[in-house]
């Protein structure tokens, strides 16, 4: 069984794959090593990969080296199963690349736009040759709400609201409609423009706000909350086949 560890700023997420199929997802506020120790005690983990936005997790990696046949840390030195054509590879977020690898596994030999709607919204393109070309980064929903609050004296801090309008009848409705419609229009326009170049384009949404945006945008798209884990699992399987890279 493969163990996928994604360490975020505040939480750690684990995904368990068997023969390429996602079996379980687990989240925790525990320390990294405590959380993973419980998983390895309960499941027969043979291979693992770790991705982290924090500092290198030395203790966690030592634990996994001891518990598994092979463990990898995802950085730009680790081989991946698609070609990375990004000009500044060292500045590319690992989550963006992993999500594109996951999307490419779901839609092989397709032109794909991956939209990850989190704190920031990232638009990333993988062509039908399995090449990551790049994309765009835009402020996410929460960032836009915070910006209106922090950079003005009177506007309140609001958050995602399923009940929003095209024409706001008061200040709260105006902010909610402005932020949420603005992102929806942005996504729809981006997809429309890219589809003018790639008529067979597949669009995949992921991230914390993706479910709301998937429901409210006009273009056909798929919603896949686990595309990052799927991508990391494919990176893991790709490297398991390279014995010289193990551990």
DSSP assignment of 49-104 equals EEEESSS--HHHHHHHHHHSSEEEE-STTS--SSEE--S-GGGS-HHHHHHHHHHH
Q: Three-state DSSP class for 173?
A: helix
For the four alpha carbons of 100, 105, 107 and 111, in that order, the dihedral sign comes to: positive
- Taking each continuous run of H as one helix and of E as one strand, the counts in the chain are 7, 11
Q: Three-state DSSP class for 3?
A: strand
| Length of the chain as a residue count | 247
The distance from CA 212 to its chain's CA centroid, rounded to whole angstroms, is 16
Active site residues: 95
């Amino acid at each position: 069984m493969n163990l996928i560890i994604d360490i975020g700023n505040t939480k750690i997420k684990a995904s368990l794959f068997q023969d390429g199929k996602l079996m379980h997802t687990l989240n925790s506020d525990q320390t990294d090593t405590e959380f993973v120790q419980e998983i390895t005690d309960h499941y027969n983990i043979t291979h693992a990969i770790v991705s982290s936005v924090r500092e290198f997790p030395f203790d966690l990696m030592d634990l996994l080296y001891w518990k598994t046949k092979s463990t990898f840390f995802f950085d730009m030195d680790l081989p991946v199963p698609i070609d990375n054509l990004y000009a500044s590879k060292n500045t590319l977020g690992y989550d963006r690349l992993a999500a594109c690898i996951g999307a490419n596994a779901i839609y092989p030999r397709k032109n794909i736009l991956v939209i990850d709607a989190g704190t920031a919204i990232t638009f990333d393109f993988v062509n039908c040759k399995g090449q990551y070309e790049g994309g765009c980064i835009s402020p996410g929903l929460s960032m836009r709400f915070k910006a209106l609050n922090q950079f003005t004296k009177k506007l309140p801090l609001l958050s995602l609201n399923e009940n929003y309008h095209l024409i706001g009848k008061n200040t709260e409705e105006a902010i909610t409609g402005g932020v949420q419609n603005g992102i929806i229009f942005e996504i729809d326009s981006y997809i429309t423009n890219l589809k003018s170049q790639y008529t067979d384009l597949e669009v995949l949404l992921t991230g914390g706000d993706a479910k709301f945006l998937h429901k409210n945008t006009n273009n056909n798209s798929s919603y896949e909350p686990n595309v990052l884990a799927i991508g990391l699992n494919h990176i893991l399987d790709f490297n398991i086949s390279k014995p010289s890279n193990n551990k």
